Amino acid sequence: MRRKTVLICLDGLDPDYLETARTPTLDAIARAGFFTIGRAVLPSVTNVNNVSILTGSFPETHGIASNYWYDPVTGQGQFIETAEYLRAPTALERAAQAGLRTALLVTKEKLLRLLGRGATVAFSAERLPAEAIEAVGEPAGIYSSEIDYWQLRALHWVLRAYDPDLTYCSTTDYVMHRHGPGSAEAIRHIETLDALLGDLLAAFPEHQVLITADHGMRDKTVGLDLVALLGGYGIRAAFVSPIKDRYVVHHSNMGGAGYLYLAAGQVADAIELLRETAGIEAVYSREEAVDRFRLPADRIGDLFVLATTETVLVEPGSTGSTRASVRLRTHGGLHETRVPIWGYRAEASREQFAWNLDIVRLLDLPGSRESRAATPS
């Protein structure tokens, strides 16, 4: 890196929000630098994309394919919340090894434990050091819009107090889960974020600033229970929702993608049945999913299922029927992979940024970087 760099992930910032809110700062960045629409990694959930962004690599390399890990041998699972799951170094680790100062600011505590290796200073807005509270004040709760505003003010303080060479800051998507583009609440939220970004750029005009999102967001009206569906045809399955985490107020653990674990002799029958089911957009075998979406073969199911734009795949038994009406905004599938990307004083050209993870992949840091393109569909 030739200049100090700030990487910002605006969680859940679907490009549709930019069409209704006034964003003079982001518009100015686009004019002075660049703006483009890129792609998020599938499954389009928090862990997969924050790790992809900060390692500059795809899941086949870094090993994270979900917010939740399931062992088909024991039938047990656990949340992916620690760095022991990572198979690739983050940009913060690589920078620290090169003698650079680094910082990590995240809203969610799980991301602190997952991504914090190599950070000179690191904290989440859920659990803070006393000096952060003294400098910026107490943040609001995780289920609020204000926690993101606190986060960007804290970023300003960290840059001033610690002068890091490389900083990663990630917000939360509570507002986007609750309010769609065009709503007064969403417009107010985006415009407040934009104003705080304006303050940041005014204070640190020489920094390279790269901004993206981890995923988009869509309204969902249909919930589909794959275990109940397959069970009706005598096919026993275990289902893992990649969106499953502890922040259930956001999305109720319902998302647009899912992994199915099946007995070997039932895989072909399950594929045939699912491909004929309304609400299912695509079904991939493990081998197909690994090749097409660059997923780690040992951390996904026998099948990778993607839902249609209005459908979510639900936890078994959570709705009481195979198909149910739901009303929520969430993500995880193919229809939430469009993300904005901005570059200010960027050391690469707009045409090079096709994926959100390119904001790190294209940094001039020591260590290997991804180069092979992936099929975006």
pLDDT tens-digit readout, 11-29: 999 999 999 999 999 999 9
pTM of the model: 0.95
- Do residue 59 and residue 190 come from a single domain? yes
- C-alpha pair distances (Å), 346 with each of 4, 34, 206, 245, 341: 11, 8, 11, 34, 11
Residue 162 belongs to some domain of the structure: yes
Burial (Cβ within 10 Å: 0-12, 13-18, ≥19) of residue 151: buried
User: φ and ψ at 127, to 5 degrees?
Assistant: -145, 115
Kind of pairing between the strands at 280-285 and 303-307: antiparallel
- Do residue 36 and residue 161 come from a single domain? yes
- Do residue 235 and residue 271 come from a single domain? yes
Residue 114, pLDDT score: 96
- Tell which residue, 167, 55, 170, has the closest CA to residue 108: 170
Residue 376, pLDDT score: 37
- Do residue 209 and residue 230 come from a single domain? no
State the CATH number of the domain containing residue 326. Answer: 3.30.1360.110
Where helices occur in the chain by DSSP H, the ranges are: 24-32, 46-55, 59-62, 91-97, 109-115, 130-136, 146-162, 174-178, 184-203, 226-231, 248-251, 267-275, 286-293, 358-361
Residue 198, pLDDT score: 98
- Do residue 208 and residue 87 come from a single domain? yes
- Do residue 52 and residue 166 come from a single domain? yes
- Tell which residue, 70, 53, 61, 13, has the closest CA to residue 242: 70
Residue 327, pLDDT score: 95
- Do residue 195 and residue 341 come from a single domain? yes
Residue 65, pLDDT score: 98
- Do residue 320 and residue 171 come from a single domain? no
d(CA 33, CA 243): 33
Residue 71 belongs to some domain of the structure: yes
Residue 369 belongs to some domain of the structure: no
- Do residue 287 and residue 156 come from a single domain? no
Residue 66 belongs to some domain of the structure: yes
Domain count, the chain: 2
Residue 210 belongs to some domain of the structure: yes
Residue 126 belongs to some domain of the structure: yes
Residue 31, pLDDT score: 96
Residue 322 belongs to some domain of the structure: yes
Q: How many CB atoms lie within 10 A of CB 46?
A: 29
Residue 365, pLDDT score: 87
Low-confidence ranges of the chain (pLDDT < 70): 367-377
- Asked if 76 and 250 count as a contact pair (C-beta separation under 8 A), the reply is no
d(CA 307, CA 4): 41
- Do residue 176 and residue 259 come from a single domain? no
- Do residue 100 and residue 186 come from a single domain? yes
State the CATH number of the domain containing residue 54. Answer: 3.40.720.10
Residue 251, pLDDT score: 72
- Do residue 193 and residue 179 come from a single domain? yes
- C-alpha pair distances (Å), 44 with each of 80, 291, 331: 15, 17, 6
Domain that holds residue 82: 5-216+334-361
Residue 248 belongs to some domain of the structure: yes
Residue 374, pLDDT score: 44
Q: How many CB atoms lie within 10 A of CB 263?
A: 11
